[in-house]
Structures are given as structure tokens and as C-alpha cells.
Chains A and B, each alone.
Chain A
Amino acid sequence: MKIGYYPGCSLQSSAKEYDRATRLVARHLGIQLHDINDWNCCGATAAHSMDHFLAAALPARNLIIAEEMGLDVTVPCAACYQRLRLAHRVLAENEETARDISQLIGRPYKGKVRIYSLIETIAGIGLEQLAAQVVRPLKELRVACYYGCLLVRPPGTGCDDPENPRLMDELLEAAKAETLDWGYKNECCGASLVFSERRLALHLIRNILRNAVDAGATSIACACPLCQSNLDTRQGQVNKEFGTSFAMPIFYFPQLLGLAMGLNPQDLGLGMHFVDPQRAIKAVSG
């Protein structure tokens, strides 16, 4: 399978390991990822909170390039995914904006590109095919799949049911992990509020971690760079602020899939976590 790949900025910086794991797992599964030529920022947060037009125009440029490459697009980052999907919708539904955008970019968008989250792309090869690639079943792993907000919302643009998403759970179940039905799988992690409203964001992160622990999780799987970053890098601050003692490893879901497929943990970026995931990894590797 051949598909356009829109990594987004985070996957070149704070979420490098998400990018590495994604490329490795995709190659292993026979998914050919073609980077969108000369892609630009999706406009997340900065553009969409300041300027409606730019919020659509920035992702639109990426869609136009993908269309010219003749490819659909898969997006690992939840925010990028949502921006691209919303831009696609704006272009389809608002003629005037679509005209202005194509004038600005210099080429029109025909609306042919389909935008998938990475979860959908991997699920698209079939759960049985995925299960067939598993050499190291994640039997010892009790995973709370954490979808956050942008991947499934607003309803109609998300990749799964906004209230009870299951797609990531199904992928990890195919890798023989034990997934949990827990209450915070689609709650907000505070996202970039962690910079401006630190205490509020830490409170939200604490709630997610606590709920996962209460549900019996030994690790959390994410599909969003900001979710992972907040839950992983801020865990120490949460412990300090609230007197808790969380030590919950926060994985990107392709890292876990790669592990199950027998890929090298180092190559999957499993040494780049703040909260040491070694115990969870050892449990899997036996």
C-alpha cells in the first residue's frame, strides 16, 4: 500500500520517536510512506486560534500537494490530523473560502484526497494481517489506550466514535496486549495550556494518570505528540505538585506494535522517554 505521509513539526522534534516507530512499523507492514513534498505547518493552535482563513489555508496547501502527488494522506499527529480534516471540509463546503485559498496558493484543490489517522491506516491492512506479524505478544501489558480529544472530535471529523473510541484498542489487542475499558480515554490532557495554565493542566494530567492506574493499567498508549509529552514529561511535576508517585510509561502505539513485531526497542525510540519504560518492555520481552 502506498500513501502520503504528513509527519508534522512535532514528529521532527519532541516526538522524533513517534516518527521513527511509525516509519519502521509501516515498512514492516508493507505500507509505503511517501513524505508530502515541501510540506508546511498544519497551523495547529497558533493559526486556528487567531485566523480562520489561515487555519484552513495552511493545511490546504498540504492537501493540494498531496493531490498533485496523487496520494491519500496518513497523519500520525492528532492535531495535524484534525486540522487537515477540517480544512478538507471547509474547502468542500465553503465555495468562497475555497476560491480565496486556491488564489492564495495558486492552484485549486479538487477535494480528492482522503485523510486518515495513522491508527486508521494501520487498521486498514486488517487486524488479522497485523496479528500475523506478531512475534512477541504483548501479553504482560495492561494498556490504557489514550485517544485524547482531537483524534475523535468534533463528531463527524474524528477517526472513531467520539465517546467510546476502540480502534487503537483493537490494534493493540491484535498484538495480544490486554486493553482496558477506562473512563478517561478521550479526556483532554491540557495540551498547550501546560505553558499558560500550568496548575490546571497538571490537574488534568493527574486525573488521567490516576484513572488509568485505578483501572489497573501498567502503561498508556497514545497517538498524539502533545498527549504523550504532557503525560510523560510532566509526570514528575505532577508527583511533586500532588504528592503522588506515578511511574507510568507512556508509549506511542506504533512503538508497542513494533515491539510486538520483534523490532529493536532502541530503533523504536524506546530509550527516549522521561518515565523509564524498561520494566514494561522487559515484561514483554520476558
Chain B
Amino acid sequence: MPRIGVFVCWCGSNIGGVLDCPAIAQEAASFPGVVFSTEYKYVCSDPGQKLIVDAIKEHRLERVVVASCSPRLHEETFRQVLRRSGLNPYFLEMANLREHCSWVHPDTPEQAQRKAVDLVRRAAAKAARLEPLFPGKIPVVRRCLVIGGGIAGIQTALDVADAGLEVLLVEREPTIGGNMVKLDKTFPTLDCSACISTPKMVAAAQHPNIKLYTYAQVEEITGYIGNFKARIRQKARFVDHAKCTGCGTCWTKCPVSVPDDFNLGLGERGAIHIPFPQAVPNKPVIDLAHCRRSTRGKCGACAKLCPAGAIDYEQKDEFIEAEVGAIVVATGYGLFPWEKVYGEYGYGRFPDVITGLMFERMVNASGPTSGKIQRPSSGKEPRTVVFIQCVGSRDEARGKEYCSRFCCMYTAKHAHQVLEKIPGSEVYVFYIDVRTFGKGYEEFYRRVQDEGAVYIRGRVSKVYQDGSKLIVKGADTLLGEQVEIAADMVVLATGAVPAAGAADVARMIGIPQDKDGFFQEAHPKLRPVETHTGGVFLAGTCQGPKDIPDTVSQASGAAAKVCGLLLKDELETNPLVSRVNEALCTGCLACQPVCPYRAIQPVTITERLPGQPPRERVVARVNEGLCQGCGACTVACRAGAIDLKGFTNKQLLAEVDALCL
């Protein structure tokens, strides 16, 4: 039996405050194979690690048990300690005395003590049966796929491209820029959103290392970290962008007029259109659903007028296959569909009840009203504007439980813009709490109040049309009174939800979504840009609502992770993967459908048995690059032919025996 050392950590008072660590260490000394055991305040600290290194040398330890926190936190730390000491790093076993014991049983310390001893006994039993494991090597494709061309995707693409790596930036809309480019000014500095985002759009389009695909969608992802294959559908634009000069003749002459989706229905556009004047690429697409040539069979005005002959009604969708080493998902957010649930605000029946994003388009100098704030019903300037916060956010009954984080600040900015652009106007803001956590945010909020915005703490119970006015009834919960305001316009601070189609992206790539549909990061604090799928990273609001500064920071963080991955010559694979014992495998392939990572494929092997002619036989084989070590296949295998390395059947049974016998 190998020589085992046990190290019990107090984790300060986290473990030591509930459990008697010296007693655990003393008891551990009697477990089979344990030749040394001790305890220390913080085993993860420098002196703590030195304790392990020294003990390995002094006591010629071959296996190490650390009884401390969750392996998710420090397993890698302690593996490095073993490596430094000349042991195979996988000769480590951890017992989780913190999350699994002291934190959850603070009220019953005696029973917790017994449980802690059992956990250590289990770990020692497994440690005795650990085998050395060695990571494999796989090559890396030095190219990164970025899905989503909003500010997050653009920032990631630029950072990765600046590091000298190739980037494919895929955006489903006809232009990059995302939601940010729809905004007018950005809080709290009031710098113009277009002035800070359009140069980045141009930089992304012109960067020699970035290949831009707009009006395109990623349809399929296969492969694994370092070696993904992506299939991209380039939707037909019906305009040959190689010939098109972006002169604008076609979109000014198109006879069709439909609500402009880029302006959230506030303006109109033609069937052939560019989303907005500074779009990148600055070349049009034809919206076939509304094109008169397509709906009525005749028109063709754009084709006749185009001096470059770029219109091509017969254009078909094209597919691009690309190999990439890393994927960054930056699919952004959409707005909470308030019209479906908020009857008290009129279900969208009243034209002068608009959303914050509509207000942004309205107040934007390149928007449908050229920056004039006006009531959609009459085109007149409003005198009294009511803002309602938390529409869809922080509403467990009908909306989402979470705070959308940026609404308080954009509402404060809107209030400022109304007061600035309309002298003598009145602004009321209904709020639950005002959250101004960022740098310079609280100062901005105070400034807007000083400018005259009236903040009313309370919910609005009802908005209804009374002649040309909107009557807003609500509660002022600070005064304990009911409030009624005759408003000209009501602006709803609609919360953020994952962008439409987020679930499809999640399924395609295999990233989990949280209960609200946002993509799940690998760890909320320590691995915020990684996912549980190797080589796939997150940037921006697809992971959760965040403002522009946070989005850009996370985007650069994702870029750093991509560079860290792709600048290696080859990758070390995780050795804790499944292994098929081909001699036992019957080739039933029951393991294949249970694998969530599509890591198991059938292969044909030639079997040579003594005294018999060689024969061909199908067995299951695990792709170690794809396998994430979940172990689902080991359970499905009827023949017991699959073992998860580091969690073999033998090891697990030894643990069960240690606990139960």
C-alpha cells in the first residue's frame, strides 16, 4: 500500500470554528496506509504548501490527502504542490470539510465532526488506489470565432486580432454595432454613443486580422477546444457587396415603406435598406418579405437604378466552413416583452407609452426624429414625461427576479435629456430603489435630481389614456400617498433578457443557460468569462445584464483568455476523461446517446485472439479532446467497460467501502 499523508486545514474559522481539526488529523493517522497526518490554519498559503512539500520529502509520501475546501477552489493549487515535489499531480485526493461539512452543519458540531472524519477516511481509501495520470497533447488552430457583433464582440475581436491572431466576427444583423450603436448618449459622462462605437466598428471591419461576416449566422459547431469546426450561413442580401459602392440611390428610391426595425418602429424604411447611415458595412440588403418585386412580382426599381449593377435578386444563401481554436459568444440582450404582461401600462395600446430604447432612438441625432423628443401620437413635444423603472426587472410575479443593472442610470440620463432639451418640462421618475453603483454614477443621479427630476419611490398601478393625456396613477410610498400625474409621454425602463435565439446558440455550442436564459459562466467570481465547455468563452450581456464599461472589460477579459489559449503551440488535455476497455466493450453504443459532449464514436478494430483468425469488431471510442469527464457513459455501460480516469469503479467502490463498512 502506498504511503499516504493527510493535511487537515482549518481554513481560519471556516472549518476550525466548527470542527476540531487536530482531532481529525489524529484520527486520520490510524487509517490504512496513512503514515503522516497534521493540521494547519491555512494549508493553501505559502507556509501551508511548504508543509506538504517538506512532509513528502521527510516521510517519503506517495499519496496526499488534503482535507480543506471544495476541490473546485484549490485542487489545482495542491496538484502544483505535488508536481513541485516530484509526485504525479494526480496522486492528490481532497476531502471537502468546508462546503460539505462545516458550512452546512454549524449547529450540530458533534455530528459534523463524525462526518468530517468519515470524509477523510473516504479520501484516504481512494488515495491508496490513485493511479498516475498524464495529460495528452493536441494541436491548436490559431483562429477565433466571435459570435455577435455588438460592442462586446467587436472589443473581443479587436483585442484578439491586435495580438496577431485571426478572428472571424459573425453578426446576424446587416450591420455590426449591436444595441450600443442605437443609443444616443452614454451615462454618466454623456459622451455620444455613436462617436465612441462607430470608430470601433470601422476598426473591426478594416482590421487585417478580422474577417467580418454580417447578415450571417453560425449554424453548427463541431469539434473541441483548439479544434472546432464552424458552419456559417451567409444569408442572401440580394446585393452583391463586391460591386456595390454604397451610393445610396437604391434605398432612397425604394417605393416600399415599412416600419423600421432598427428604430423600433418609430420610423420607416424601404425594402432595400441600410439600418442607419453609419452602418458597417455601409451597403444595403433587401428585405425580401417586403420587397415589391417579391410580393407583387413586379418593380425592380433598385436593379434599374443601381449604377454598379449590384442588385442580384437570384442570390442564394451561402455556407462557409471554418476551423477555429476558440469561440467567444457575445450574443447580447433583448428587451423584456412588456406588452404581453403589463396591462397596467396599457399592453402597448397607447402610442405615447414607449420603451427606453425607443426614447434613445428618438433623442438620437441620427434617429427617426433627428433628435427631437416628440410624442409618437401627435409629433408634438411633451411637457410632462413620466419614467417608470423596473419594468420586467425585479418583479417575481410577472417579470424577472433579477435587476437589469443599467436601467436606473439610463433613466437618469433620459430625465436629464428631457430637462435639457425641453425648457420648462416636468420629469417624474417612479422607482423601487435607485442603484448607482458605478464610477461617477451616484454623482450623475444627484445632478439629475438637482436639475429638477422628481423621483417618486413607488410603483405605478395604472396608466390610461384620457383625451390626449396619459393619466399615471401610482403610490408615493415615502409620503404614503397616492399620486396622479397627467403626462404627455411615459417611458418604461424595460429590463434586459437574453437576445432572441440565445437558447439555440446554447444548444448548438453546448453551454448551459441559467434559469433566466443567460449563459452560465464557469464560476461566478473566479471564472467569469469561461464556460464549462473548453475553448468557449463569454463576453457581454449574453452572460447577464451589464453596462457598457463592464461589457467592454469582460470582452477584453475573454480576449485575454482566447490569446492565452491560442498562443500555445499545443494544448494539454485534461487526463480525467473516460477510457474504454476495448477487450470488454461489446459495441452496444449505449454510451453514445448519453454523452452530452458528443465525444463517443464507434470505431472498428481488428481483434486477434490466439488460435482464431483475426476478426473485425465495433467498439466505442472516446475523443479525449471532447470528453469533459462527466462520467455519464460509465454508468450507461452495461459491460462495465468504461472507466473515468481519476474516478474508476475500483476507486469509487473503495470510497463506498470506507464509508459504509
Chain A residues within CB distance 8 Å of chain B:
161-164, 181-184, 211, 214
Contact = CB atoms under 8 A, between A and B. Distances in A.
Contacts of B465: 181, 183
B343 A214 contact: no
Given A181-B349, A183-B471, A164 B343 contact: yes
Interface string B144-162: 0000000000000000000
Interface string B388-403: 0000000000000000
B343 A161 contact: yes
A51 B101 CA distance: 47
Nearest to B470: A183
A214 B468 CA distance: 11
Contacts of A183: 462, 464-466, 471
B349 A164 contact: yes
Main SS at interface, chain B: mixed
B343 A211 contact: no
A212 to B, nearest CB: 11
Contacts of A182: 464
B347 interface: yes
12 contacts: A163-B342, A163-B343, A163-B344, A163-B347, A163-B462, A164-B343, A164-B349, A181-B349, A182-B464, A183-B471, A211-B466, A214-B467
A102 to B, nearest CB: 32
Interface string B226-263: 00000000000000000000000000000000000000
Given A181-B349, A184-B464, A214-B467, 20 more contacts: A161-B343, A162-B343, A163-B342, A163-B343, A163-B344, A163-B347, A163-B462, A164-B343, A164-B346, A164-B347, A164-B349, A181-B465, A182-B464, A183-B462, A183-B464, A183-B465, A183-B466, A183-B471, A211-B466, A214-B466
A147 B465 CA distance: 18
A163 B341 CA distance: 9
A164 B343 CA distance: 6
Nearest to B345: A163
Nearest to B464: A183
Contacts of B466: 183, 211, 214
Contacts of B346: 164
Contacts of B342: 163
Contacts of A163: 342-344, 347, 462
A210 to B, nearest CB: 10
A181 B344 CA distance: 14
Interface string B324-366: 0000000000000000001110110100000000000000000
A211 B486 CA distance: 14
DSSP majority for the A interface? loop
Q: Which 5 A-B pairs have the closest CB atoms?
A: A163-B343, A183-B464, A164-B343, A163-B344, A164-B347
Contacts of A184: 464
Contacts of A214: 466-467
Contacts of A161: 343
| B342, B465, B466, B467 — most chain A CB neighbours (10 Å) | B466
A153 B466 CA distance: 23
Nearest to A215: B466
Interface string B471-495: 1000000000000000000000000
A211 B343 CA distance: 19
Most A CB atoms within 10 A — which of B349, B464, B471?
B464
Interface string B528-558: 0000000000000000000000000000000
Nearest to A162: B343
Contacts of B471: 183
Contacts of B347: 163-164
Interface in B447-472: 462, 464-467, 471
Nearest to B342: A163
A158 to B, nearest CB: 12
A183 B463 CA distance: 8
A211 B473 CA distance: 14
A199 to B, nearest CB: 16
A200 to B, nearest CB: 12
A211 B465 CA distance: 10
B540 to A, nearest CB: 34
Nearest to A187: B462
A148 to B, nearest CB: 14
Nearest to B465: A183
Nearest to A210: B466
A68 to B, nearest CB: 37
A182 B467 CA distance: 10
A111 B14 CA distance: 53
A159 to B, nearest CB: 15
A117 to B, nearest CB: 18
Nearest to B343: A163
Most chain B CB neighbours (cut-off 10 Å) among A162, A183, A184: A183
Contacts of A162: 343
Contacts of A164: 343, 346-347, 349
A218 to B, nearest CB: 18
A181 B465 CA distance: 9
Contacts of B464: 182-184
A163 B342 CA distance: 8
B482 to A, nearest CB: 12
A211 B349 CA distance: 18
Contacts of B349: 164, 181
B160 to A, nearest CB: 48
A181 B343 CA distance: 13
Contacts of B343: 161-164
A211 B471 CA distance: 11
A183 B466 CA distance: 7
A181 B464 CA distance: 10
Interface centre among A161, A162, A163 (most CB of B within 10 A): A163
A85 to B, nearest CB: 19
Nearest to B347: A164
A112 B467 CA distance: 46
Contacts of B344: 163
B486 to A, nearest CB: 12
Interface in B504-525: none
A128 B462 CA distance: 33
B381 to A, nearest CB: 24
A138 to B, nearest CB: 24
Most buried by A among B343, B347, B462, B467: B343
A162 B177 CA distance: 40
A163 B464 CA distance: 10
A181 to B, nearest CB: 7
A204 to B, nearest CB: 12
B309 to A, nearest CB: 52
A161 B343 CA distance: 8
A208 to B, nearest CB: 12
A162 B461 CA distance: 12
A95 B471 CA distance: 44
A72 B632 CA distance: 51
B399 to A, nearest CB: 14
Contacts of A181: 349, 465
A214 B466 CA distance: 7
A182 B349 CA distance: 12
Interface in B30-60: none
B391 to A, nearest CB: 14
